[in-house]
Amino acid sequence: MTADITQVEKPTERPDHYEKFKKYEVEATDLASFCERYHKASAWHNRPADYREADYNGHLNDLAKYGYTIIPHHDSTTGEVVSYYSCVDDGGRTAR
């Protein structure tokens, strides 16, 4: 899974949501580890590779467009919404 963004800036389109989801931010070294760690098995690990890639790309698009992405409570290993924020892409992996 590779990223196609060079820099993500805080969006001006939905700044209220950007700040709102900060309280749900979790630790992850990159987007791939965020997906692996915080998706329930039924929502990630037990899905076909093409499904996981499409889901990953959806998270990547959220990062590019909004500066963050979330996993909703029903798909999260925590049972709560979790969010991941990224500022800069580092050659295929999002960096915190």
pLDDT digits (tens, 9 = 90+) for 7-24: 555 555 555 688 899 999
3-class SS of residue 91:
coil
Give the per-residue pLDDT at 33.
94
Percent of the chain with pLDDT over 70: 73
pLDDT at site 3: 53
DSSP states of 6-27: SB----SSSHHHHHHGGGGB--
For residues 40 and 94, which has the higher predicted lDDT (pLDDT)? 40
What's the pLDDT tens digit per position in 19-48? 899 999 999 999 999 999 999 999 888 999
Cα 81 from Cα 26, distance rounded (Å): 10
